[in-house]
Structure 1
């Protein structure tokens, strides 16, 4: 294969196009562009991501003309059209029953009632729902686009730079083809990760980010039932504890208007310092066989291509992200445990199980971190929870929640080291209450 054709790809039948023949090269590039076209533009083929995520749940694979039959690497065997696909067994996507939906709605209603005396922030729940795994996927996809596109754009840029400079100058379509290829590769890896997440998440706010429509509180009954099997705790207690956590997230993100942008900005600042390993990209792409991409979605998965830069700026960005995630999750844990109190017999076991789950991250969260370089788990959850406990003890509920009035008022990383000292010396904001500008009321 001449060095002029990057990544080792060849046209149908394995014949190498002559780089000096404009007609052959135009046909070759046209076929590659068709193969990896990214609908709607952008750095990620999100249509492919959605299809692969859904395939993880229900089976099947990508549809349409993304992967034409007969396109192969030189010397690679072309599979028979009726060859059985060697794909993982789908985890399933059971529909939500009427009984499950009623139980979820009642749990969310009761949870919001229990939270009322424990939070100066009013209810953020405008609507309640029970989602299937597929519904969670479709409803949260817009936010995943916002989170992942900045990292994806850098990967696509790095892939484009792998095209020899003389080819970029002479053959514009090659650059477009490589960008489309990058979108397909990222669509494949993100689809696999999101499909795994959809099979594990318990609610909209389960991983600490506002992933769903504003004001929509939703649980995933199939995943709650699966998770509850390992706890040996009655189903209704597990469901109600998840509902408490979901309702608490809704209060926080619904009535602290700057918080959503603050968390996303912390994610984006950290993502901006993620390094794209060009050698890893080139090595991984050399192993891809376009002839089998449509039959084996796992072949699209790339790991280890994103690594954080070891710079002071990146370490500071990571600290800000971890602090933001920990403060959100610590507040939720704190108010939920207070609200559950003596009402749930197994609240201590539930609280500890959920802390371990969030601190460690589930298998799907770990997979997602490996794929795109972003860890969305709060590393300092226990310290953050202790901090909110201390603030409640010294300042009361209103004084504690008044810290959400402005990002500059929030505890910083140093406050985690001595929560009691921070709580004692922090300006008492309890009498300030909340106002319309912060999106909260004057409850105290």
Structure 2
């Protein structure tokens, strides 16, 4: 892996760009960490009761981290996800050596570091399914404090609200153990379609065309076969994110007095706060990520309204029951096919 990406440089660049976050006293920081851990523990039972999903006990630990810790964790996650792609490239081209290895890996490491540094200031929490042996949940304390201040939200309410969403992801993967292997197999399938010659010859042209047409960099390297795989992955990610949003808003009114105010303010924030921020979000495909929350939540709500939560939970029984990208926007089609 080190032959193509300097991960140590990526972590250094990402941490420096992200910065430490808002200024807080040591006592405030310690209290925030303790509360996030307690809220994550409290959320487990609330998520189970609402969804009917039974997650395995004492798996997928909860870690409260700072921005540097998030960068380090995601550099490791990226390395795992990119391993099949890099292996494919090296099989086609052969491993780089000498000066080209040193320069190329540092350039790529710097680019990955810039991406991680930007994202490290935005993410409130994240479930990392690829961490051995069963994943881990990361809660980014400085970002939680920053956003709750920005929204002028009640800290107790906001922290529990965030934990409900992220804990739902932890329950999804621990209650549905095949999901992790399924996603990784999709990345393996995507890697098998990589053509190094095509990437080198046509990549910049396709990237330029995608951006001019209002797309993003993730869309620039999509052959028909890759599109098919990405559509399946989009369907899964929309399901996971939408389901988590439904859970946090469904449980919220019972335990979070200001949940309606928080949701309204948070949705306004998701649109981006400045021109540069909005541009970066579009280039990195984060606008598509926001659509996943919206479309996935609509799918979950409509299916649950029709067949109840027990009927909806058929989606977790096997990979064949997962909705495709088209079914996310056509819940009736999924109900007809699966139920």
Report the TM-score when normalising by structure 1: 0.60
**Unmatched tracts of structure 2, length 5 or more:** 205-215
Bigger helix fraction: 2
Tell me what 2:231 maps to. 319
Tell me what 1:236 maps to. 156
For the pair 1:184 / 2:106, whether they are aligned, the reply is yes
Q: Of 193, 198, 212, which residue of structure 1 is paired with 2:120?
A: 198
Aligned mates of 2:314, 2:82 — CA distance in 1: 32
Aligned mates of 1:279, 1:394 — CA distance in 2: 46
- Post-superposition Cα deviations, 1:175-216, rounded to whole Å, max 9, x if no partner, equal 5432332211110111121122222211123xxx53656364
Change (3 A) 1:405 1:358: farther
Tell me what 1:260 maps to. 180
Tell me what 2:168 maps to. 248
Tell me what 2:64 maps to. 130
Change (3 A) 1:361 1:411: farther
- Post-superposition Cα deviations, 1:262-287, rounded to whole Å, max 9, x if no partner, equal 23344454564586345888xxxxxx
Tell me what 1:284 maps to. none
Q: How does 1:254-333 map to 2 (within 5 A)?
A: 254-267=174-187, 269-270=189-190, 272=193, 276-278=199-201, 308-309=220-221, 311-333=223-245
Are the aligned partners of 2:129 and 2:136 in contact in 1 as well (CA < 8 Å)? no
Are the aligned partners of 2:44 and 2:171 in contact in 1 as well (CA < 8 Å)? no
Tell me what 2:209 maps to. none
**Unmatched tracts of structure 1, length 5 or more:** 1-39, 59-89, 162-171, 282-303, 429-444
- Post-superposition Cα deviations, 1:5-49, rounded to whole Å, max 9, x if no partner, equal xxxxxxxxxxxxxxxxxxxxxxxxxxxxxxxxxxx7332111111
Deviates more, 1:267-276 or 1:318-327: 267-276
Are the aligned partners of 1:365 and 1:376 in contact in 2 as well (CA < 8 Å)? no
Tell me what 1:97 maps to. 29
Tell me what 1:210 maps to. 129
Q: Of 315, 327, 334, which residue of structure 1 is paired with 2:246?
A: 334
Deviates more, 1:184-193 or 1:119-128: 119-128
Deviation at 1:136, TM superposition (A): 2.0
Tell me what 1:226 maps to. 146
Tell me what 2:256 maps to. 344
Q: How does 1:141-156 map to 2 (within 5 A)?
A: 141-150=75-84
Are the aligned partners of 2:89 and 2:194 in contact in 1 as well (CA < 8 Å)? no
Aligned mates of 1:310, 1:138 — CA distance in 2: 29
Change (3 A) 1:42 1:401: farther
Q: Which runs of 4+ in 1 moved over 4 A?
A: 90-96, 149-158, 267-275, 277-281, 304-307, 352-371, 373-376
Are the aligned partners of 1:155 and 1:182 in contact in 2 as well (CA < 8 Å)? no
Deviation at 1:368, TM superposition (A): 8.4
Change (3 A) 1:137 1:175: closer
For the pair 1:42 / 2:14, whether they are aligned, the reply is no
Tell me what 2:303 maps to. 391
Deviation at 1:348, TM superposition (A): 3.0
Are the aligned partners of 2:130 and 2:180 in contact in 1 as well (CA < 8 Å)? no
Change (3 A) 1:199 1:268: farther
Are the aligned partners of 2:272 and 2:278 in contact in 1 as well (CA < 8 Å)? no
Are the aligned partners of 1:53 and 1:195 in contact in 2 as well (CA < 8 Å)? yes
